[in-house]
Amino acid sequence: RVIKTDMELEVLRYTNKISSEAHKEVMKAVKAGMKEYEMESLFQHYCYARGGMRHTSYTCICGSGENSSVLHYGHAGAPNDKTIEDGDLCLFDMGGEYYCYGSDITCTFPANGKFTPDQRAIYEAVLKSSRAVMKAVKPGVAWPDMHRLADRVHLEELTKIGILKGNVDDMVKVHLGAVFMPHGLGHLLGIDVHDVGGYPEGVERIDLPGLRSLRTARNLEQGMVLTIEPGIYFIDHLLDQALRDPAQSCFINNDVLQRFRGFGGVRIEDDIAVTATGMELLTCVPRTVEEIEAFMAEGQSSAKSFDCLSSQKQ
């Protein structure tokens, strides 16, 4: 079940194709004053009407503003019911299901179509970690090492932004990355969105912050399908906890950090298949700041002109 057949890969390519198009429809439609659940409804409608995908793989997460830092927002207690405001970042984590095979895609973008300097800085930090992992993925690579790679890129970029200060190697030793990315880098994908087989006999969970949240610690093999979903979030209770810990607080510029209180979070999630020499990117949505801003500005015409292949070469 972990290693996909050619037929299974074809179905997963299809779920990603339709779900990617549905995400693009949402990006074109979003406006300040709309409800988060309107975006959920539009995604579901597109998947069913255009792709025959009657169900989503999981409850849609449509977090805007501070809700974008709530990792599993959208459940019954927080049912995507906030009004989207001008200036909000939208973190929309949604995937359609076809013949029981899922997809799991997250897009983060500004509701008004233009990133602020701070939004751009955090977004590009996450995009950099995503692309670093994609470049490193190949058979034989240990998945926990990919999580560590993403963490390191985040810490380096947060230092450049000014939120952190000091030596990144020392930050890694005190697990500072888990303050900003408390979840695992990604998971196996298939019939279940969090598919089985992550910890077979002989594969042990690593009991360290961040790493303990990984849903698999396996070495990658050709035919595996996984998500790559790094994120940076500003979660008050985790930030407060870090500020109370002398081992971590010494690396934090609290004056700069205060500017990001209430920022929410950024996650970029793509589905990939491990190949003999690297990986195949299954997801096709605008990813760079320039692609997102151009796509949202141009609307329908951009939907026709957006070239997934040229985007993947970047």
Which pLDDT does position 55 carry in this prediction? Answer: 98
Domain annotation for the chain: domains and CATH numbers: 6-312 (3.90.230.10)
Which pLDDT does position 188 carry in this prediction? Answer: 99
* pLDDT per residue of the chain (314 residues) written in tens, 0 to 9: 999 999 999 999 999 999 999 999 999 999 999 999 999 999 999 999 999 999 999 999 999 999 999 999 999 999 999 999 999 999 999 999 999 999 999 999 999 999 999 999 999 999 999 999 999 999 999 999 999 999 999 999 999 999 999 999 999 999 999 999 999 999 999 999 999 999 999 999 999 999 999 999 999 999 999 999 999 999 999 999 999 999 999 999 999 999 999 999 999 999 999 999 999 999 999 999 999 999 999 874 444 555 665 555 44
The residue among 136, 134, 141 whose CA lies nearest residue 221 is 141
Strands of 89-94's sheet in order across:
61-64, 89-94, 105-110
Which pLDDT does position 303 carry in this prediction? Answer: 45
List, in order, residues 6 or more apart from 136 with CB less than 8 Å away: 146, 149
User: What's the pTM value of the predicted model, to 2 decimals?
Assistant: 0.95
Spatial distance between the Cα atoms of 89 and 108, rounded to a whole number of angstroms: 7
Residue 229 near residue 106, CB atoms below 8 Å: yes
Which pLDDT does position 302 carry in this prediction? Answer: 46
